[in-house]
């Protein structure tokens, strides 16, 4: 657990009690929980500058460098059972760290979490990896199925893809914050988008621009080994920034979302 998350857990004792309820409901007349600010870090630069500095911490840079090198080594190793095990462990760890970036940002952190001394157990990392991969497959399936069935990239295809792009980030955030795939409940997801529409539109715009531009540049830079490593590092770096943007959406709108996490 990072310092920001640890501060958050410790400061819960100073908050007002909030009544328990179901995942989607609570007593509207009960006193609301005060917003936790014990671990909030102040930005010294404008948001649209400082947000790109999120991975600039010793731990963040180490994660990016180690993951890029490990991914490159995996691509040159012969495919087999050992390769598959190493691939799952390496990607599982990086997916876990990406989720930690979201969770840390959701409680006010502005720099990548220091988890050098608090690595997860391998089963925990693999579980996180499985949840995120399952989520991506579930969201990719409608567009893929439509194309396979019709062999057309037409208006319905783009409507389906647009809906995926709209609801994937908030679903990813819910799964990360709750820690289980069933948090991708349509009622929760739609209600959350309606609760903070302007903030969410801005968040998903920045999220998809970061992911899309990074992936595009990575493909362009795959001509040589050096450029490929640089492109992979850039993609990994920007993915952490995108996770930070998603976490900050929750931090800025936690009372509106009222997820009780």
More confident residue, 20 or 125: 125
Q: Which residues contact 155 (CB under 8 A, 6 or more apart)?
A: none
Asked, for residue 33, whether it belongs to a domain, the answer is no
Domain holding 85, by residue range, is 46-257
15 phi and psi, to 5 degrees? -90, 160
Whole-number pLDDT of residue 215: 87
Question: 15 in a domain, yes or no?
Answer: no
Confidence (pLDDT) at 37 = 39
The count of structural domains within the chain is 1
Asked if the structure places residue 229 within a domain, the reply is yes
Q: Is residue 4 part of a domain?
A: no
Q: What is the DSSP string of 127-170?
A: HHHHHHHHHHHHHHHHHHHHHHHH---SHHHHHHHHHHHHHHHH
Which segment of 22-26, 108-112, 189-193 scores lowest on mean pLDDT? 22-26
* Mean of the per-residue pLDDT values of the chain: 81
Q: Residue 81: its pLDDT value, please?
A: 73
pLDDT in the model for residue 116? 67
Residue (of 9, 120, 112, 3) closest to 62 by Cα position:
112
Is 141 domain-assigned? Answer: yes
Confidence of residue 39 (pLDDT cuts 50, 70, 90): low
| CA–CA distance, 46 with 75 (Å, rounded to integer) | 39
Sign of the C-alpha dihedral, residues 107, 113, 118, 123? positive
Instruction: Please indicate, yes or no, if residue 28 is contained in any of the structural domains.
Output: no
Q: Is residue 250 part of a domain?
A: yes
**Four-residue CA torsion sign, 247, 253, 254, 259:** negative
Res 18 pLDDT > 60 = no
Q: How far is CA 213 from the centre of its chain?
A: 17
In terms of pLDDT, which residue wins out, 252 or 15? 252
pLDDT at residue number 92: 83
At 89 the pLDDT is: 81
Confidence band, pLDDT 50/70/90 cuts, at residue 19: very low
- Sorting pLDDT into bands at 50, 70 and 90, what band is 73? confident
pLDDT in tens, 220-237: 877 777 888 888 899 999
pLDDT band at 117 (very low <50, low <70, confident <90, very high): low
Q: How confident is the model at residue 41 (pLDDT cuts 50, 70, 90)?
A: low
Q: How confident is the model at residue 12 (pLDDT cuts 50, 70, 90)?
A: very low
Q: Is this structure's pTM higher than 0.85?
A: no
What was the pLDDT predicted at 55? 92
| Structural domain includes residue 40 | no
- Please tell me the predicted confidence (pLDDT) of residue 77: 74
More confident residue, 180 or 21: 180
For residue 216, report the phi and psi dihedrals to the nearest 5 degrees: -60, -45
């Amino acid at each position: 657990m990072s310092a920001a998350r640890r501060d958050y857990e410790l400061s819960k004792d100073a908050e007002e009690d909030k009544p328990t309820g179901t995942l989607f409901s609570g007593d509207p007349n009960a006193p609301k929980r005060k917003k936790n600010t014990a671990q909030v870090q102040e930005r010294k630069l404008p948001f649209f500058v400082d947000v790109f500095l999120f991975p600039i911490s010793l731990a963040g840079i180490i994660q990016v460098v180690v993951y890029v090198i490990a991914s490159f080594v995996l691509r040159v190793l012969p495919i087999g059972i050992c390769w598959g095990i190493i691939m799952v462990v390496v990607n599982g760890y990086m997916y876990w760290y990406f989720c930690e970036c979201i969770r840390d940002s959701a409680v006010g952190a502005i720099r990548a979490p220091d988890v050098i001394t608090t690595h997860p157990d391998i089963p925990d990392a693999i579980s996180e990896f499985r949840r995120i991969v399952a989520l991506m497959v579930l969201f990719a399936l409608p567009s893929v199925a439509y194309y396979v069935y019709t062999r057309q990239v037409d208006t319905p295809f783009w409507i389906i893809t647009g809906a995926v792009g709209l609801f994937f980030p908030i679903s990813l955030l819910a799964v990360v914050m709750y820690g289980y795939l069933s948090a991708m409940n349509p009622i929760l997801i739609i209600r959350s988008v309606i609760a903070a529409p302007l903030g969410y539109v801005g968040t998903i715009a920045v999220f998809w621009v970061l992911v899309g531009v990074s992936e595009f540049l990575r493909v362009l830079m795959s001509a040589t080994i050096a450029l490929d490593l640089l492109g992979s590092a850039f993609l990994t770096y920007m993915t952490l920034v995108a996770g930070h943007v998603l976490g900050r959406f929750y931090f800025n709108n936690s009372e509106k979302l009222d997820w009780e996490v």
